[in-house]
Amino acid sequence: MDRRSFLGKAGLAAAGAGAAALATPAIAQGNQTWRMVTTWPKNFPGLGVGAQRLADRITAASDGRLTVQVYSAGELVPPLQSLDAVIDGSAEMSHGAAYYWQNKSPALSFFTGVPYGMTSREMAAWVRYMGGQEIWDEIYDQFGVQGFLSGDTGTQAGGWFREELTGLDSVKGLRFRTPGLGGRVWEKLGATVTNMAAGEIFQALQSGTLDAAEFVGPYNDLALGFYQVAKNYYFPSFVEPGLATELVVNKAKYQELPSDLQAIVKDVCQAEYDQVASDFYANDPRALKTLVDEHGVNVRQFPDDIIEAGAKAATEILGELRDSGDALTKKTTESFIESLNILRTRTEGTDGAFVEARKKYFSI
């Protein structure tokens, strides 16, 4: 898949089209059209496709009473300004990842992915059944928006590296694109961390501005063509055991909707969370096979001293957040840690034990 087919479509829309799109949403005979801005390139596997499918599902389930028009990264606003577009009223919805907005609240990182934290199934359990959604609502109330889980990639790849990592010393000074709390872990390990949108990563790796980059995993990374400029692909990501995506809506607009339309938005997001997770689970291994067999990618595991140092750094960061002077950050961290310690007994003791037994004893 040609990465340019994505990046070429992710540029800014023509000024006339942009101005028209920013006009007041259409309301005719009780029907409404809402604008969804995303952080993803158009037709991007899993993420961009998932955003479009979510929009189409809402439109279909509402029988056109709530039509959602999708604007991919850069078509209406820059990709990392999509949340601001909902906050300032330029759009009614955004589709992205909460950890992109940690500058607004450090607590938002917990609703995407946390180093050594929750798997996709654990994340859904915390948000749906263990108080996570209520805390998330408190955080976003400050900005007049509301968030819903809308997808999850599952455990991610650790990143693309131009040079092989020989140990912890090779991280020192490494220029690395990786966002969220995971970026803070790599900073503690000695890397120089930055964040940038998907469409900017390839050029930064190619030019040498970056030494390494982590985005999602094989399904997306194949489409972006990272294998052309870096051949060392590390697994797994110990800083992103999953990337939960979010649909964010303007809260006032959402509350003005009839109750059945509110329920449609919520229910479609729940369905899409599971749909996206299944999509990645099915297509990541296929894409990885293509990367290895057709593009000569070297699949590697992180050296033990990096993994161990990463765990220590993650523990320190979570401790700092738990002791935060910000009440919501403290509350979120405490809830997350308490829930993780409950959920991991199932994940490690039951699921993990089964997977280990299957790996050791079963083949067919």
pLDDT tens digits, 263-315: 999 999 999 999 999 999 999 999 999 999 999 999 999 999 999 999 999 99
Q: Does 67 have pLDDT greater than 90?
A: yes
| pLDDT, tens digit (0-9, with 9 covering 90-100), for 119-155 | 999 999 999 999 999 999 999 999 999 999 999 999 9
Q: Do residues 152 and 118 touch, judged by C-beta distance below 8 A?
A: no
The pLDDT value recorded for residue 12 is: 35
User: What torsion do the CA atoms of 176, 180, 181, 186 make, to the nearest 10 degrees?
Assistant: 0
The pLDDT value recorded for residue 29 is: 53
Distance (Å, whole) CA 204 – CA 25: 37
Which CATH superfamily, name and number, covers 4-155+244-282?
Answer: Bacterial extracellular solute-binding protein, family 7 (3.40.190.170)
The pLDDT value recorded for residue 198 is: 87
The pLDDT value recorded for residue 23 is: 46
Q: Does 22 have pLDDT greater than 90?
A: no
Contacts 24+ apart (CB under 8 A), 117-120: 117/241, 117/336, 117/340, 118/241, 118/242, 118/336, 118/339, 118/340, 118/343, 119/154, 119/155, 119/241, 119/242, 119/347, 120/152, 120/153, 120/154, 120/155, 120/242, 120/244, 120/277
Find the length of the chain: 364
The pLDDT value recorded for residue 30 is: 82
Mean pLDDT, to the nearest integer, of 45-64?
Answer: 98
Q: Does 4 have pLDDT greater than 50?
A: no
Q: At what angle do helices 259-295 and 120-129 cross, to 10 degrees?
A: 170
Q: Where are the domains of the chain?
A: 4-155+244-282
